[in-house]
Amino acid sequence: MFGGNIKMALAALRSSKWRSFLTMLGIIIGVVSVVTIVSLGEGVKKQVVGQISRLGSDLITIRPGQLVTRDASGTITKINLSRSLGISSGSLPANDLSIIERTPNVKTVVPISLISGGARTEDRQYNNGYIIGTNDKMPEVLKQKVNFGAFFSSGELGRHVAVIGQTVAEQLFHENVPIGMTFSIHGQDFIVRGVMDKFESSPVALGPDFNKAIFIPYNIGKEITGGNTQLIEILVRPTHPNQSAQTIAAINRRLMAAHGQQNDFTVLRQDENLAVTNDILNLLTGFITGIAALSLMVGGIGIMNIMLVSVTERTREIGIRKAVGATNRQILGQFLVEALVLSVVGGIIGTLLALLTNVLLRIFTNLQPVITWPVVLLACMVVLIVGIIFGITPAAKAARKDPIEALRYE
């Protein structure tokens, strides 16, 4: 009997192909949206894990603002989303850098400061990136190579030299190796010392894209702006990797004392950086997925509306079936299976389109979505539930029709 209902449902779909397709469209869009968004979220998390792992487990990050809330044992219990995304997070005081440099067990300290303004040559202006003040240890700490030329040395921290990202080279100079060329920032001339190797930019903008960055000496950045730079991050490596916990505790104590016991900064280990990023991505992915899932409900409402129309159009068919012995249960099953077939076929098409979308994103963008099969299965289960919930009302209406009145219907 069930097989017969499926055959009748498929025949009904074929008899009005375009109406059936438009009915399934909401389900298709919902499945594509949910599967693609979750896949993108998982892919971004995998990329972030790879980037953080590449930097090493002993890297310590100091950022302005209270990004997280900790319990008495120091475990993160809550993330301040707006500050973690860089919204109104402020900057660190300039003297924090010297305080951290004097902390015991600290081997390397790298400031990351943002300098307002753009760069220009005689005939071009570059305002689409970042001007970053840092020191000679940045490539070592970030484990990033210089593709052409060299990074400025400790002896050049007082000179007007710069190292640029690949995007800057292409957009400001229209060439890949502009070594020795000059440009100006705040009316001061700088010489290009090197071009960085391509940074693995994160698809989620949790920090500056260094491919679009111009790196200049930290003190020169303060000099040309009159000290108006934003120290947005300090990167630290301890003398020995197994001293990270003691180093973090010492940095926290010294900064708390310097800040008047105000906890307006955050010191993070690499695993905590990863946890914060994952929590942010999970929250954003869940929020967007929830919005996308609404289209599944819209698709369900579309199925219910079309099935109600179908029941009205096929009133005489229902009357004939009842006249030759079909029970209310059989009529109910027929129309419920038809609604399920609409929903399931839409789910299958949506899943295939989602897989195709993921492949295209991998080919044509720097995004690397990761298909999570439990999510695909969950989407399919939701599709089934939507078909049942929104198909039961039209099916019940069909089953309740009086056969005599149905036969009279024209």
Question: In this predicted structure, what is the pLDDT of residue 170?
Answer: 92
Residues linked to residue 234 through DSSP beta bridges, in sequence order: 62, 111
β-strand pairing of 213-217 with 130-134 = parallel
∠333-336-342 over CA atoms, to 5°?
Answer: 135
Specify the residue for token string 């000179």: 159
Question: In this predicted structure, what is the pLDDT of residue 119?
Answer: 92
DSSP labels for 322-382?
A: HHTT--HHHHHHHHHHHHHHHHHHHHHHHHHHHHHHHHHHHHHSS------HHHHHHHHHH
Torsion sign across C-alpha atoms 23, 27, 30, 32: negative
Residue 155 is given by DSSP the state G
Question: In this predicted structure, what is the pLDDT of residue 158?
Answer: 92
Question: In this predicted structure, what is the pLDDT of residue 5?
Answer: 64
Torsion sign across C-alpha atoms 366, 372, 373, 377: negative
Burial class (CB in 10 A: 0-12, 13-18, 19+), 346: buried
pLDDT digits over 300-357, tens only?
A: 888 888 888 888 877 787 788 778 877 888 888 788 888 888 888 888 999 999 999 9
410 residues of the chain, pLDDT tens digit each: 556 667 776 777 777 778 788 888 888 888 888 888 888 888 877 777 777 777 777 889 998 887 777 777 767 767 776 555 554 457 888 899 999 999 998 999 999 999 988 899 988 899 888 999 999 999 998 888 999 999 999 999 999 999 999 999 999 998 989 999 999 999 899 999 999 998 876 544 456 788 899 999 999 999 998 888 889 899 999 988 888 888 988 999 999 999 888 888 888 888 787 777 777 777 777 777 777 777 778 888 888 888 888 888 777 877 887 788 778 888 887 888 888 888 888 889 999 999 999 999 888 887 788 887 888 888 888 888 888 888 888 888 888 877 666 666 55
pLDDT digits over 84-115, tens only?
A: 555 445 788 889 999 999 999 899 999 999 99
Specify the residue for token string 């260094």: 210
